[in-house]
Amino acid sequence: MSRDKTARLRMDYTGEPYSAAFRWYRSRGLFNGLVPDAESPQQQVLEACVLRSLARPAPSGLPLLVSSGTAFGLEGVSPDVDTLFLRPAGDLVAQVLARILPSAAAAGVVGVPGLRAQVSRRSGLTVGRIGERAVIEVQPSRTGSVQAAQEDLQEAAELVTAAGLTPLWSNTGLAEGESEAWDRLRGESADAALWSTALRRIGLFVAESPDWTRRGPAPEEVAGPRPARIRPRPVSPGSRVTGVVAVTSGSGRGGLGCTTAAVALAGALARSGAAVGMLAGQDNPNGVLSFRPKPRGTAPDGWYDLVAIDGGGTVRASAVPQSADASEMIARARTMFDIVIIDAGHGDFPHGQWTAFADVTVALVPHEERHWAGAQLVDSRPDRIRFLAWLDDAFNRFNRAGGRRTEQLEKLLAFLDEEFLFYVTGREADGDAAVYDASDPEDAEQWWSSYALADQIDPDEEDADEDDGLSLPTEEEAPFLDEWRADFLSFLAEEGARRHAAMWAQAAAQWADRSKDRNLKRLWPGQGEGTEVAQEFAVAVEKDAIREWGLHVWQSQFPVWEAARKAGDDLLQPWAHLLETVALPRDPKEIATHLRGQLRGLPSTPTVVALARAENRLGSDQLTAVRDVLMDDGYAGLVVLPELPVFSELPSNIGRVAERAGEAAAAANRLAHVVTNTLREVSRTRGSRH
């Protein structure tokens, strides 16, 4: 099939203009198919939910969008591997946005919960969920216009408001109800891959929109007129991307996974049909050559086969001696491969000299969460539930050591209770009837000083497990306890009367009977009896509770809390889903400054910054904002290499780089996409100079 016919076949599936279809085919070839499916599960779910919101609007939301020559307002799309560009009809952009972005309705959240829009001068108008990297780009009403994108969002908000709904997409965090609505929507997305494919082939439905209000897309619907012709085939791009890429640590330190990143990048490039050669230091025991599958044969030409991609390209590797001539070896590798990757992450490898010969540098920097976001606890529970939680916290502080507001006599009695427990434990072990060494003033002072600190312990800092397992034996098991109580008091009598003259006689008269009574009830030192504690607690917190929560809440909810405490009921667990910790993104300029500080000793070639072993909570909006700042400073891009099991398995299972689906493949694809675009730009710049 000619290029012209192939581009027109893509048009039939996607609905995009001929120029866009031809340009895509010329730059990508068919290694991933003519209309690639999304390989990232996260991207699939996002695309599925967007199409569901358009094709199956909620009863309380905006009605189904019907317009001639469109499918739910879309004239077409431009799909690539894990990227998607929506093309709404020019006068329907705001209508489409109003249906996919979330709004609050009387019956709950409509649209895609958690979806937010961002306008960037480089990425244009994009939508993505909070805390997720999957994004969809949306063509504004005037192509390439930032102002038009902002106007489209404003018009969408006006449409939603006029319909009696409240737009939620200006919220930086999740609004009330969005988490639950997303959980429900995801639960209904078992067929997300099929919905995603349907959106990527929306051109099949612009002539007549299907009715997907009660059923999802059927496989035969999305197969289209020529399913065999759009499958992946080894057809190379019309414009081949070539060049040398160095993968190194931004600061020169090891341990960031540079070799793993280099192999993942090589796999993604090979999946797109490229022949990839990798150069690595000969003396690196953890270098790329250690990834070779076994048995490991010899390589007459010095190049070892790492992996061959079915229907794609190849990845080969060669060891580089310390004494090798960098210029000569790289020049030779350029003639053998489309793209040469230098694994320059090992500390002993002379990456300073070798990376200077690269066309593009990928510099890995560690992802440190504290530099990207702070944390805030968002409590969306009803006021009465928050009050019950407040009571729980106050009671825990009150009833632990130092928490109860006791009189001095009660404090002394509780002190004797606790010390008697240690006394009994020690005497059972060694038979020593002495409480401390009375002949040693320092020992005596240390023992009695514990009383002064007894009500100064911070419950939040106390080691709650320190005395676990310690308790008095029962009175029945240890009839000697009465005698030991007398010995205990007798030992302390003289010093106790000297230190606590005002109340020692009263304490000594009460303590033995009190100690026995508490032990019969199996109360540990400091533990109050139920009724006694509840009464003391109510008196202690009443004023604070009324001041903070109001008299009505105190009078109506304290009895509920007290009854639940006695019954052992957990009143908070059913509301746990409304209590969450959310990240508060830091200023993009501050983050970019921190990242620049991690980049030292690199060559002047275009540099792509890669966040190594990043957590999945980084959202597309924050990444886009930081990337724009870095690109303003001359960097070529910012990508994320998340902490994923597949990456850690590559040294023992190099064949996994051939996998086209999954989050690891998607992350490698994103890196490859930025690298190839940068190589193209380098080639164009060089061409314009000649």
Helix (H, G, I), strand (E, B) or coil at 178: helix
Q: Give the residue from 230, 264, 289 where a domain finishes.
A: 230
How do residues 582-632 score in pLDDT, each as one tens digit?
667 789 999 999 999 999 888 889 999 999 988 756 778 888 889 999 999
Do residue 216 and residue 140 come from a single domain?
yes
Confidence of residue 463 (pLDDT cuts 50, 70, 90): very low
Owner of token pair 């690595």: 280
* Of the listed ranges 245-259, 317-331, 404-418, the one predicted with least confidence: 404-418
- Which percentage of the chain shows pLDDT scores above 70? 89
- On the question of pLDDT at 464 being above 60, the answer is no
Specify which of 330-334, 564-568, 659-663 reaches the highest per-range mean pLDDT: 330-334
Do residue 224 and residue 274 come from a single domain?
no
Do residue 225 and residue 272 come from a single domain?
no
Establish if 160 belongs to a structural domain: yes
564 Cβ partners below 8 Å, 6+ apart?
A: 388, 570, 571
- Residue with more model confidence, 128 or 307: 128
Establish if 318 belongs to a structural domain: yes
Owner of token pair 């999957």: 134
Q: 293: cis peptide before it, omega within 30°?
A: no
Please name the residue ranges forming H helices in 163-208.
Answer: 178-187, 192-200
- Cα dist from 556 to 535, 549, 570, 571, whole Å: 17, 11, 18, 15
Confidence of residue 78 (pLDDT cuts 50, 70, 90): very high
Q: Give the residue from 527, 543, 563 where a domain finishes.
A: 527
Establish if 545 belongs to a structural domain: no
Q: How many domains does the chain have?
A: 3
- On the question of pLDDT at 469 being above 60, the answer is no
Do residue 265 and residue 193 come from a single domain?
no
Pairing of strands 637-642, 607-614: parallel
Confidence of residue 688 (pLDDT cuts 50, 70, 90): low
Nearest to 339 by CA among 272, 415, 278, 264: 278
Do residue 182 and residue 157 come from a single domain?
yes
Nearest to 142 by CA among 128, 155, 129: 155
What's the pLDDT at 69? Answer: 93
Do residue 428 and residue 522 come from a single domain?
yes
Do residue 505 and residue 611 come from a single domain?
no
Do residue 29 and residue 109 come from a single domain?
yes
- Cα dist from 27 to 210, 248, 594, whole Å: 32, 27, 35
What's the pLDDT at 684? Answer: 85
- Whether 175 and 108 have beta carbons less than 8 Å apart is answered as no
- Whether 406 and 455 have beta carbons less than 8 Å apart is answered as yes
Establish if 573 belongs to a structural domain: no
Neighbouring C-beta atoms of residue 608, cutoff 10 Å: 23
- Whether 353 and 322 have beta carbons less than 8 Å apart is answered as no
383 Cβ partners below 8 Å, 6+ apart?
A: 549, 553
- Cα dist from 72 to 194, 258, 400, whole Å: 17, 45, 61
CA dihedral 381, 385, 387, 392 (to 10 degrees): -110
DSSP 147-170: HHHHHHHHHHHHHHHHTT-EE-TT
How do residues 619-665 score in pLDDT, each as one tens digit?
788 888 899 999 999 999 999 988 888 887 777 788 888 888 888 88
- Whether 637 and 390 have beta carbons less than 8 Å apart is answered as no
What's the pLDDT at 458? Answer: 42
Query: Which residues form the domain of 70?
Result: 3-230
Compute φ and ψ for 535, nearest 5 degrees.
Answer: -65, -45
Neighbouring C-beta atoms of residue 615, cutoff 10 Å: 15
Nearest to 181 by CA among 125, 128, 240, 104: 104
Establish if 38 belongs to a structural domain: yes
What's the pLDDT at 1? Answer: 58
CA dihedral 188, 192, 198, 200 (to 10 degrees): 140
What's the pLDDT at 613? Answer: 84
- Whether 69 and 135 have beta carbons less than 8 Å apart is answered as no
Average pLDDT, the chain: 86
pLDDT (average), residues 40-47? 92
- Whether 278 and 627 have beta carbons less than 8 Å apart is answered as no
The number of CA neighbours under 13 Å toward the Cβ of 332 is 11
Nearest to 475 by CA among 516, 424, 515: 516
How do residues 220-266 score in pLDDT, each as one tens digit?
999 999 999 998 887 767 678 899 999 998 887 777 888 889 999 99
566 Cβ partners below 8 Å, 6+ apart?
A: 530
Do residue 281 and residue 216 come from a single domain?
no
What's the pLDDT at 574? Answer: 92
CA dihedral 302, 307, 309, 315 (to 10 degrees): -40
- Distance CA(458)–CA(444), nearest Å, equals 25
Beta strands in 201-332 (DSSP E): 243-249, 275-281, 304-308, 314-320
Nearest to 362 by CA among 659, 7, 152, 641: 641
Do residue 226 and residue 266 come from a single domain?
no
Q: What is the 3-class SS of 46-88, one letter each residue?
A: HHHHHHHHHHCCCCCCCCCCCCCCCECCEEEEEEECCEEEEEE
Could you give the maximum distance between any two Cα atoms of the chain, in Å? 108
Establish if 396 belongs to a structural domain: no
How do residues 339-358 score in pLDDT, each as one tens digit?
999 988 754 455 557 888 89
Do residue 130 and residue 72 come from a single domain?
yes
Helix (H, G, I), strand (E, B) or coil at 417: helix
The per-type count for the chain, helices as H runs and strands as E runs, is 23, 18
How do residues 159-202 score in pLDDT, each as one tens digit?
999 999 999 998 888 888 898 899 888 877 779 999 999 999 99
Pairing of strands 115-120, 166-167: unpaired
- Residue with more model confidence, 461 or 615: 615
- Which percentage of the chain shows pLDDT scores above 90? 48
Do residue 667 and residue 596 come from a single domain?
yes
- Distance CA(460)–CA(403), nearest Å, equals 10
Establish if 378 belongs to a structural domain: no
Establish if 383 belongs to a structural domain: no
Q: Give the residue from 484, 503, 527 where a domain finishes.
A: 527
Q: What is the DSSP letter of 658?
A: G
- CATH number of the structural domain spanning residue 630: 3.40.50.300
- On the question of pLDDT at 286 being above 70, the answer is no
Q: What is the 3-class SS of 218-248, one letter each residue?
A: CHHHHHCCCHHHHCCCCCCCCCCCCEEEEEE
pLDDT (average), residues 86-115? 94
- Whether 348 and 283 have beta carbons less than 8 Å apart is answered as yes
Confidence of residue 457 (pLDDT cuts 50, 70, 90): very low
- Is the whole-model pTM more than 0.75? no
